[in-house]
A and B are shown apart, each in its own frame.
Chain A
Amino acid sequence: MKFLLKILKDFPAYLWSGWGAIASILLFIASWDVGNQIYGDLILPSPLETFQTLGLMLQDKSVIEEIKTTLYRSAVGFGFSLLVGSILGLLAGFFATASMMSRPIVTILMGMPPIAWIVLAMIWFGMGDETVIFTVVIASFPIIFVGALQGTRTLEGDLKEMADSFNLPWHMKFIDVYFPHIFSYVFPAWVSGLGMAWKIVVMAELLATSNGIGASLAVARSQLDTPTALALVSIMVGSLMFIEYIILEPIKREVELWRV
């Protein structure tokens, strides 16, 4: 609870430090506008037009439904990866054999291109939620698994010994000695896993389903509706930026205060 308050207390200062980031985003939008002036509306619609389309879309109930569908798929897939990946990673980290055996499997999972998984999933599950969710899991699971694995593998024997010498009860050992260390590995893995899930969900939808943001993107492409396509991309990028910079980054700063 105290911890949560501290995050909220430091939040305004954190936001204030974001002016540089905002300036750089505005600069990016400005160069986008330059691109529009050079190549014309069909190739690259102006930021203004894109954001106007976005505004109209967000008032449209059917678009909100599509966003919800995508959110649901990525949340289920990412949630599963987060839970199972963290737990299995932690367990594998505690056993030398398990961590040794799991490394090559992780390399296979990570090395295989997501597009290949989508094809396989379409054959296995058909066109629908399962295919998308499966691909999201496959893409984000290894990242989280490896993070958790590294976290437990790198626990320091010295600190364990110290904890033993003071006869720390098991719950104190976990909360005060193991958890902060493991968390400093697992949390960044969660963040990158989330980014991966959010990207993969759209790709899988584009190829394998008839609803969701990805499917809308496919429709926009077939109709050469570039403003809608860019508006959809803005939704994806905007929501990821919101989650990463407004929610996750402040937490990360507080949690890792002891590091830098």
Chain B
Amino acid sequence: MASLECLEVKRLNHSFGFTQILKDINFSIKKGEVLSIVGPSGGGKTTLMHLCANLLDVQEGSVENTFTSSSFAFQEARLLPWKNVIDNIAIGLLAKGIKNKVAKKMSEEIALKFGLEKDDFDKFPKDLSGGMKQRVSFARALVVNPSLLFLDEPFSALDIGLKMELQTYLIQMVKEKNLTILFITHDLMEAIRLSDKIHLLQADPGHIIKEFEYDLSQEKRDDKFVYNETAKILQDETIINTFELQTIGFK
């Protein structure tokens, strides 16, 4: 049964008021796939993600999600300011009805794995640095062991070292636990490092105009591969037009 898990988006349209945000979006993700949606800021990426994650009601078209579980890592950490690190991580577990003690233990384990230290466990978010908050947010999303993970530009505020560390962890999870990821980003390099498929979303109204596929498995992709593919994709006519690169002399 597990192999039948999939997310299928069909003929999805969405508007806020009279402004159409998304137009005729179609795609599907199968178990174990990493799909990136790239596009310029303000192109409806986050709206699309929220529709997929059932945080917004679908107006037209359909989103069918048969994944057994899912979780969401947001662009900002979105921690509860009145809860300490461990309680913040444990919230998803508690929501699933896992006992407090077990949830705490699992949270502590994953916190250590994400480079947080024992001294940090009792700290409130106000005492954490931006990077540490994002680690906590990641830990909170992954501790529930989701089958499908929604990532909404979670790396955009992180330094390059932490970015690599978290990405490597995700790649490992994809390989070991067959994690499925729907990933939103405007950073093409990030997308190329992580994804099996990249969909390019053009703005006004948002629609998918091109798809790219990468067959090489993620853990074999070295910097050279990522740089080469990024260089290649930046020559692509559609990418140049969508990101309006011609005006800054990339052509």
CB within 8 Å of B: which residues of A? 158-159, 161-162, 164-169, 172, 176-177, 180-181, 184, 257-259
Contact = CB atoms under 8 A, between A and B. Distances in A.
Interface residues of B, number: 23
A158 B74 CA distance: 9
A187 B166 CA distance: 40
A164 B96 CA distance: 13
B95 A258 contact: no
Interface string B182-205: 000000000000000000000000
A169 B95 CA distance: 6
A165 B83 contact: no
Nearest to B50: A161
Contacts of B95: 166-169, 172
A165 B80 contact: no
B121 interface: no
B248 to A, nearest CB: 33
A257 B95 CA distance: 24
Interface of B: 50, 53, 55, 71-72, 74, 76, 78, 80-83, 91-92, 94-96, 124-126, 140, 144, 150
A161 B74 CA distance: 10
B144 A159 contact: no
A158 B140 CA distance: 16
Given A167-B95, A168-B95, A176-B83, A162 B78 contact: yes
Contacts of B140: 166
Given A161-B55, A167-B95, A177 B80 contact: yes
Nearest to A177: B80
A83 B60 CA distance: 45
Contacts of B81: 258-259
Contact of A166 (B83, B92, B124): B92
B161 to A, nearest CB: 26
B71 A165 contact: yes
A258 B94 contact: no
Contacts of A258: 81-83, 124-126
Q: Is chain A's interface secondary structure helix, strand, loop, or mixed overall?
A: helix
B148 to A, nearest CB: 12
A168 to B, nearest CB: 5
A177 B83 CA distance: 10
B124 A257 contact: yes
Contacts of A167: 95-96
A259 B124 CA distance: 9
B32 to A, nearest CB: 22
B80 A176 contact: yes
A164 B83 CA distance: 17
29 contacts: A158-B76, A159-B78, A159-B80, A161-B55, A161-B78, A162-B72, A162-B74, A162-B78, A164-B55, A165-B72, A166-B95, A166-B140, A166-B144, A167-B95, A167-B96, A168-B91, A168-B95, A172-B91, A176-B80, A176-B83, A180-B82, A181-B82, A184-B82, A257-B124, A258-B81, A258-B125, A258-B126, A259-B81, A259-B126
Contacts of B74: 158, 161-162, 165
Contacts of A158: 74, 76, 78
